[in-house]
Structure 1
Amino acid sequence: MTIAQAAPHRAASPTPLADHASLIVHGRDRTGIVAAVGAVLAKHQANIVSLDQYSDNPHGGAFFQRTVFGRDNLKVALPQIEADLRAEMDKGFELDFTLRDLSIPKRVAIFASKAEHCLLDLLWRHRRGELPITVAMVISNHPDTAGEVRSFGIPFFHVPSAGADKSGAEAEHLRLLQGNVDFVVLARYMQILSGEFIGRLGVPIINIHHSFLPAFIGAGPYAKAKERGVKLIGATAHYVTEDLDEGPIIEQDVVRVSHRDTVADLQRRGADVERDVLSRAVRWHSEDRVIRHENHTIVFA
């Protein structure tokens, strides 16, 4: 493992959303959930600035709600708000909830290989303040992008991962990541993560797949698409599970192509879609807009 030291300056972070919090509620649907949550927030003089909800069946189905609220001196009030919400949820509601201070951006590690377009797009958007995240580090199995990452003031770690045995590389990844990140983004990281690594890491992992899943899974999707004569190509951002390219989908998009496009044309046009899809998925996840439920997602975009 080698380290490329970060530049003296740090990349500008997005402006934190001061005195605001996100509240995610999910569980079994029943009458009175919205009113109960609203009553707790009103008790604490919290102002609801946005509220989205969804039920897959109003008669006892699964219920999902995302609320963003603000109030003065939120950090002081947040522990009591959480305690009161927990007490309210214990009154016969079959619900779980998470509460997060939005002034503290989520910490992310970005994994990349030689393809740089998704990596650099995320770093550029982060520097412009478009992504409410803190980029803790970039990890790559190739040293090629070290200089460009360094120019953003982001620590770069080169961790080779060659051959069938990935245990050494994954052990080093865990040493770097555990306790330091809230989620991981695979920005065209061309390595398969083991189930043991995913389980031990214990944070969400978002991958960009250069195909419109579930079609053309695995390697070489653009060549497969050309062979099939497709008229649309796309990209899919999804959560990583032990099943390759089958995790819950966060976002997808497509672009129209024709028989005149070569494989290189498909790759070039597909790269634009990959950048957009991945950046949206990262932003939505970092803003608590994505709720995982079984093997799919509810996205309050």
Structure 2
Amino acid sequence: MTVPQASPASAAKRSKGADDQASLIVQGVDATGIVAAVTLLLSKHGANIVSLDQYSDNPQGGAFFQRTVFGLDGLQAALPALRADLDEGLAKRYGLTCTLRDLSVPQRMAIFASKSDHCLLDLLWRHRRGQLPVRIPMVFSNHPDVAEEVRSFGIPFFHVPSMGADKSAAEAEHLRLLRGNVDFVVLARYMQILSGDFIEQAGVPIINIHHSFLPAFIGAGPYAKAKERGVKLVGATAHYVTQDLDEGPIIEQDVVRVNHADTAADLTRRGADVERAVLSRAVLWHAEDRVIRHGNHTIVFA
């Protein structure tokens, strides 16, 4: 069973409205009695279930997934006993993997960006408005262009140049600053390819936003290519990053309709709108433990 522990730094800043609430993610092989066991165990500890979502891809021994949010007075003090009971009552008895997290401790999210700032600034604005339950300890860019705008939000900005084919120096600096300070990373139109070694060493989920439904119109100038093909839809895909480029589990997708009269600039503008919306939803759902990875796809309790 995995029970993330809040660092002293993150515990100092707690999410409003989430005091004494926790999320419990359960996954494994489906079997009779799992839901009853979860609810009975939580009731035994005096917890009140706020919401419960579940999914099974085959009730006859298929994969089972459940997200439960519950309230419990004195949650911090109760966590050790609750963790022990989950380990005995669910992990060992049913062979399940359980992840328990105190929702009052926001996850720490680092953002990587390049010159395009629409996704970056949208995330920073939503965070400032209290719409994203995260902390943002740092923003990285391989260009200095967005430095002042990022700092105007009171968030540390780090310019880490990444030039040429050898990215090892830049990635080493990123890892030095990330290590122990973040819970996940968001690539807000970061126009650099991450190496497999970086992904492995980062050791945290990495979320990327990609123009269009993958894997269409890869490379530079995607909206100009889309215009040339006479597309009728432009869209965006948010997905987890794996060592296979743009092949990771998809979290969210959306599209907007376009037509023959739209210019490449129109497509770019409308594409930026949908990119912002898709990325913000993916980040929110991840931050609220609504996304469960299973192989190369996801279960999203949105």
Give the TM-score normalised by the residue count of structure 2: 0.94
Q: Which residue of 2 aligns with 1:47?
A: 48
Look up the SS of the partner of 1:92 in the other structure: helix
| d(CA) in 1 for partners of 2:215, 2:36 | 39
Aligned-partner residue type, residue 172 of structure 1: E
Which structure carries more relative contact order (alpha carbon 8 Å, separation 6+)? 1
**CA deviation string 1:75-133 (max 9, x = no partner):** 00011111101101245312101000000000010000000000000000000000000
Tell me if structure 1 keeps the 8 A contact 2:91–2:97: no
Q: Which residue of 2 aligns with 1:187?
A: 188
Shift of 1:41: 0.2
Tell me if structure 1 keeps the 8 A contact 2:186–2:206: yes
Shift of 1:194: 0.1
Q: Percent identity?
A: 78
Q: Following superposition, which runs of at least 4 residues in structure 1 exceed 3 angstroms of deviation?
A: none
Q: Which residue of 2 aligns with 1:295?
A: 296
Look up the SS of the partner of 1:57 in the other structure: coil
**CA deviation string 1:218-261 (max 9, x = no partner):** 43321221122110000000000011111000000000000111
Shifted more, 136-145 versus 86-95: the winner is 86-95
Query: Which runs of structure 2 are paired with 1:169-180 in the superposition (5 Å)?
Result: 169-180=170-181
Shift of 1:154: 0.1
| d(CA) in 2 for partners of 1:188, 1:110 | 10
Q: Which residue of 1 aligns with 2:8?
A: none
Aligned-partner residue type, residue 156 of structure 2: P
Question: 5+ residue gaps in structure 2?
Answer: 1-12
Look up the SS of the partner of 1:165 in the other structure: coil
Q: Which residue of 1 aligns with 2:115?
A: 114
Tell me if structure 1 keeps the 8 A contact 2:91–2:98: no
Tell me if structure 2 keeps the 8 A contact 1:238–1:251: yes
Query: Which runs of structure 2 are paired with 1:85-96 in the superposition (5 Å)?
Result: 85-96=86-97
| d(CA) in 1 for partners of 2:281, 2:14 | 17
Tell me if structure 1 keeps the 8 A contact 2:14–2:105: no
Look up the SS of the partner of 1:264 in the other structure: helix
| d(CA) in 2 for partners of 1:152, 1:91 | 46
Is 1:150 aligned with 2:151? Answer: yes
Query: Which runs of structure 2 are paired with 1:268-283 in the superposition (5 Å)?
Result: 268-283=269-284
**CA deviation string 1:166-220 (max 9, x = no partner):** 0000000000001000000000000000000000010000000011223333433
Q: Which residue of 2 aligns with 1:159?
A: 160
Shift of 1:13: 8.1
| d(CA) in 2 for partners of 1:111, 1:179 | 17
Tell me if structure 2 keeps the 8 A contact 1:14–1:129: no
**CA deviation string 1:38-97 (max 9, x = no partner):** 111000000000000000000000000000000110000011111101101245312101
Q: Which residue of 2 aligns with 1:208?
A: 209
| d(CA) in 1 for partners of 2:17, 2:225 | 43
Query: Which runs of structure 2 are paired with 1:97-108 in the superposition (5 Å)?
Result: 97-108=98-109
Tell me if structure 1 keeps the 8 A contact 2:14–2:104: no
Shift of 1:14: 5.2
Query: Which runs of structure 2 are paired with 1:70-89 in the superposition (5 Å)?
Result: 70-89=71-90
| d(CA) in 2 for partners of 1:13, 1:79 | 20
Give the TM-score normalised by the residue count of structure 1: 0.94
Query: Which runs of structure 2 are paired with 1:215-294 in the superposition (5 Å)?
Result: 215-294=216-295
Aligned-partner residue type, residue 256 of structure 1: R
Question: 5+ residue gaps in structure 1?
Answer: 1-11
**CA deviation string 1:272-301 (max 9, x = no partner):** 000000000000000000000000000000
Look up the SS of the partner of 2:26 in the other structure: strand
Q: Which residue of 2 aligns with 1:5?
A: none
Tell me if structure 2 keeps the 8 A contact 1:13–1:129: no
Q: Size of the alignment, in residue pairs?
A: 290
Aligned-partner residue type, residue 205 of structure 1: I
Q: Which residue of 2 aligns with 1:36?
A: 37
Look up the SS of the partner of 2:93 in the other structure: coil
Tell me if structure 2 keeps the 8 A contact 1:14–1:126: no
